[in-house]
């Protein structure tokens, strides 16, 4: 989720602490790592395999014997596939009863091989077996927050955490609201305890026109909350500052990870860049020339919307199985992010850039593979596994102190 936005214009700059060297992956320092352009494995839409189709994949995890489990929010279903793509089990459906989903937001497999799903509409954590049997449901009780929980995760010691959903912040017309997202301890009984940490969330504005109900719109370059686990620690931050704060499962602060990367302050030149890129994106989406009405609408939004202080340097963040931090650069106008990922050591030192296949949305990075999702022109989604070849120093990076 991190990266740097390069614009062909002058801008004020905030440098990371590690020497202020700016962009990772400049000539001479790129790691000799490559990702295969062709997928080794592709799952989805197999003829003769019911439940092998996907439309809105939110999570993919590894199961036993080379299998994978795929969570699809639109289809309200988890599908377990063998290494050769055969559907081994399908669980869940749309609804409100046990084992049914309204808004499936992710799946987690724990150290004992148990499969858990989380539904952020029901605020419910469910345990399953990989053969599709529902073991039981646990509803969250939000004792430590009045906010809805958007996702859950697990530390290496088996303890759980929960992260809040972003929410809208009221402010004056054209102003910029500021929200925070809390990461909370989560008990085995579903109790959401006190916050481990709060980090900046998306900046949003709310406005009223002529007495009509409030409308909602995001500020230009709104930052997003970033979070990942490493061992028994949570690394949390926001996409407008290259600092990840480190916390253990009790909420004790263990330090910071400052990424060697540049952040650009937002200027009026960036606002004009947003307008230009939004018009170009509209044209690509509809495959036609942008008419005067559409152009005026986009230009009007660009002129009146509030603007965040800094350009996000990250769209997504992944910590791989060896402990390297992978940061996906943010791209105008609103993402979804670059195919060039910046790679950082556990110290925050920038060690280079790795190119992923264009159009692949990376979900997980192991020692030797990148697992991601590709969407075709018909809106069908496929899980793809691409080989990752690392050369040079590929030893596991040491955990931050206190995270073992």
pLDDT in tens, 23-69: 333 333 457 899 999 999 999 999 888 999 999 999 999 999 889 99
Q: What is the C-alpha separation between 156 and 112, in angstroms, rounded? A: 11
Residue 158 DSSP class: S
Q: What is the C-alpha separation between 193 and 163, in angstroms, rounded? A: 11
Average pLDDT over residues 278-293: 84
Which residues are CB-neighbours of 285 under 8 A, at least 6 positions away?
none
CA nearest to 221, candidates 304, 338, 330, 294: 330
Position 18 scores a pLDDT of 32
| Cα–Cα separations (whole angstroms), residue 154 to 116, 157, 189, 361 | 11, 8, 14, 22
Q: What is the C-alpha separation between 350 and 110, in angstroms, rounded? A: 31
pLDDT in tens, 253-264: 999 999 999 999
Least confident of 236-250, 287-301, 355-369: 287-301
Average pLDDT over residues 154-162: 95
Mean pLDDT, the chain, rounded, equals 86
CA triple 227-122-80, angle to 5 deg: 70
Q: What are phi and psi of 281, to 5 degrees?
A: -65, -40
* pTM listed for this prediction: 0.87
pLDDT in tens, 342-363: 999 999 999 999 999 999 999 9
Biggest distance spanned by C-alpha atoms of the chain: 63
pLDDT above 90 as % of the chain: 67
Q: What is the C-alpha separation between 52 and 36, in angstroms, rounded? A: 24
């Amino acid at each position: 989720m991190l990266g740097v936005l390069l614009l062909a214009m002058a801008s004020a700059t905030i440098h990371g602490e590690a020497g202020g060297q700016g962009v990772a992956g400049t000539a001479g320092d790129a790691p000799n790592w490559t990702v295969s352009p062709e997928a080794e494995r592709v799952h989805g839409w197999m003829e003769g395999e019911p439940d092998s189709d996907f439309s809105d994949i939110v999570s993919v995890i590894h199961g036993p014997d080379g299998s994978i489990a795929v969570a699809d929010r639109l289809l309200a279903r988890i599908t377990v596939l063998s290494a050769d793509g055969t559907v081994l089990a399908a669980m869940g459906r749309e609804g409100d009863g046990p084992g049914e989903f309204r808004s499936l937001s992710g799946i987690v497999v724990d150290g004992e091989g148990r499969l858990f799903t989380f539904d952020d509409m029901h605020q419910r954590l469910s345990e399953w077996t990989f053969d599709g049997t529902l073991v039981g449901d646990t509803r969250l009780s939000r004792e430590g927050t009045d906010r809805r929980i958007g996702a859950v995760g697990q530390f290496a010691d088996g303890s759980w955490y929960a992260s809040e959903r972003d929410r809208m912040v009221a402010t004056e017309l054209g102003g910029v609201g500021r929200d925070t997202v809390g990461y909370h301890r989560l008990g085995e009984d579903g109790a959401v305890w006190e916050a481990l940490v709060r980090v900046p969330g998306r900046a949003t504005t709310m406005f009223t026109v002529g007495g009509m109900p409030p409308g909602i719109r995001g500020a230009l370059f709104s930052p997003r909350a970033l979070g990942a686990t490493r061992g028994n620690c949570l690394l949390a931050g926001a996409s407008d500052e290259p600092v990840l704060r480190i916390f253990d499962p009790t909420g004790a602060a263990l330090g910071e990870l400052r990424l060697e990367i540049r952040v650009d302050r937002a200027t009026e030149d960036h606002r004009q860049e947003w307008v230009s890129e939004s018009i170009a994106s509209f044209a690509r989406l509809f495959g036609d020339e942008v008419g005067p009405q559409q152009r005026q609408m986009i230009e009007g939004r660009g002129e009146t919307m509030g603007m965040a202080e800094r350009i996000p340097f990250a769209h997504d963040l992944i910590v791989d199985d060896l402990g390297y931090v992978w940061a996906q650069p943010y791209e105008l106008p609103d993402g979804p992010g670059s195919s060039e990922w910046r790679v950082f050591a556990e110290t925050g030192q920038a060690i280079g850039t790795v190119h992923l296949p264009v159009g692949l949305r990376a979900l997980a990075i192991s020692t030797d593979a990148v697992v991601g999702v590709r969407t075709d022109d018909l809106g069908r989604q496929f899980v793809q596994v691409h080989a990752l070849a690392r050369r040079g120093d590929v030893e596991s990076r040491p955990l931050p102190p206190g995270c073992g």
